[in-house]
Structure 1
Amino acid sequence: MDRREIAALLAYIGRLDPRTIRTDPGEAGDQLAQWHELLGDVPMATPYGWDARIAARQHIRLSPYQILPADVARPWESYRRERLARHCDPTPAVDPDDQSAWRAELVGTRRAVATGTAQPVQARAITTGLDGSDPRLKARLQEVGSCIPPAARTALAPYRPARAAREAALAQGMPDALSVRCGWCLAQPGEPCRRRRTAPDGTARGTAPRATPHPGRLDLAAGQQPATA
């Protein structure tokens, strides 16, 4: 805000809270200089939601204390932080090899968002093309089969035996035991069975995961396979 805007803001505040009015010309000049020094980089209003008069009125309405420049500066800083938190830098339109121009465009976009002259740019979500209706996408999915390469899946098998056993069973056409709840260890669908050890008093001492499901869970999955096929 320039000095004229600061004077207008002080006149507005004086109408709401007469305690801020300075009748002595010297005191009024000092007050104007102080507020301009502290709020010179704060705009009076922006096209997207910021208005210093609203911030001042909110303070006067809620606080019994006389308003200070900080009571306008704090909401402005919160406004800037909130907008930058919602902003996702778009890809600059300049040549990426020109680092100075690339950086300058990013800084300019962030400054425009922070000062309220541009809206935050949000990351776009992928909303189309996920149904596999594209024939080329279907062919690619059939070729790849999984997002994990076969070599990586083989290397990971010793570290996740339950999943490896499940994948091997599915590859052989056997029922997916992990698709149902285990009636023995009470493992939920998708979770591996667990080996329950009991103490002499009957309490459980451990529930280590099993690499293979319990036989009863296999029978249950086999019984449900025709119904889900």
Structure 2
Amino acid sequence: MDRREVAAVLTYVGRLDPRTIRTDAGEARDQLAMWHELLGDVPIATAQGWDVRETVRKRIVSSPYPILPADVAREWQAYRRDRVARHTDPTPMADPDNPHAWRAELLAARDAVAAGQAAPSPHRGITAGRYRPGLKDQLAAVGSYIPPAVRAELAPYRPARASRDAAIAAGGPDVLGVPCDWCHAPEGEPCRRRRLTLDGTARGSAPRTTAHPGRIDRAQAVQAWQASAV
């Protein structure tokens, strides 16, 4: 704000709180100089929700003490921090091989957001959380995301998955649907060849085409329990 805008703000403050009015010319001049010194880089209003009059009004309503220019300056700094915290840097249009232009465009975008001249750019990409509700039903209606012909061509390169699909198609249990207690393979991962040294430590982790017998038994038990529950 320039001195004329600061004077307008002081006039508005005086209408809401007469205690801030200075009748002496020297005191009024010093008051104007102090407010301009602290609010020189604070805009009177922006297109993104900042209005110094709203800040003044809230401060006078919430505090029994006369408003100070530092109160307005602190609110402006909080406004800037909040906007920058909600901003995600968009990819600059500048040549990435020109780091100076790239950095200058990033800083200009951040300054515009902080000054209330542009809206913060929201976060993009996948946010935290689980899959979309109803996604399994949609996939069941559409079918497998891998066409059967492509799946058949990939079978020689994925023997464990091919064995799993064949067992499920034949009505058997989903062996990879349960973890393995022998090799500690997690759910969805094939069993591993677990070789032990003389001191008991494990060595070797080559994937197996077939699951360990204990894992097969566990998968059959789970399948039988699910059938009985239905």
User: TM (normalized to structure 1)?
Assistant: 0.63
Task: Provide the C-alpha distance between the structure 2 equivalents of 1:119 and 1:107, rounded to a whole number of angstroms.
Answer: 15
Alignment of 1:10-21 (within 5 A): 10-21=10-21
Question: Aligned pair count?
Answer: 174
Offset at residue 178 of structure 1 (A): 8.3
- What secondary structure sits across from 1:49 in the alignment? coil
* Conserved? CA contact 2:177–2:219, under 8 Å: no
Ranges in structure 1 where 5+ consecutive residues have no aligned partner: 151-163, 181-189, 191-211
- Aligned match of 1:52: 52
Give distance in 1, aligned partners of 2:41 and 2:175. Answer: 65
Counting only pairs closer than 5 Å after superposition, residues 108-147 of structure 1 correspond to structure 2 as: 108-125=108-125, 138=146
Distance between the aligned counterparts of 1:122 and 1:65, measured in 2? 38
Q: Report the counterpart of residue 173 of structure 2 in structure 1.
A: 175
Contact 1:113–1:120 (CA under 8 A) maintained in structure 2: yes
CA deviations on 1:19-54 (whole Å, 9 max, x unpaired) are 100110100010110011111111110001001111
Q: Distance in 2 between matches of 1:98 and 1:84?
A: 25
Contact 2:46–2:117 (CA<8 Å) still a contact in 1? yes
Match of 1:63 in 2: 63
Secondary structure class of the residue paired with 1:117: coil
1:224 and 2:220 matched:
no
> How far, CA to CA, are the matches of 1:98 and 1:226 in structure 2?
66
Give 1:61's aligned amino acid. Answer: V
Report percent identity of matched pairs: 56
TM-score between both structures, scaled by the size of structure 2:
0.63
CA distance in 2, matches of 1:100, 1:124: 25
Q: CA deviation at 1:95?
A: 0.8
Given the alignment of the two structures, is residue 4 of structure 1 paired with residue 8 of structure 2, yes or no?
no
Measured in 2, the distance between the counterparts of 1:21 and 1:63 equals 17
CA distance in 1, matches of 2:94, 2:59: 44
The aligned residue for residue 99 of structure 2 is 99
**RMSD across aligned positions (CA):** 3.9
Unmatched tracts of structure 2, length 5 or more: 127-134, 140-144, 179-186, 188-213
For 2:164 and 2:76, how far apart are their aligned partners in 1? 59
Q: Which amino acid aligns with 1:220?
A: V
Alpha carbons of structure 1 residues 37 and 61: separation in structure 2 relative to 1, 3 Å: same
Q: Find the aligned partners of 2:163 and 2:70 in 1 and give their Cα distance.
A: 67
CA distance, structure 1, for counterparts of residue 66 and residue 176 of structure 2: 67
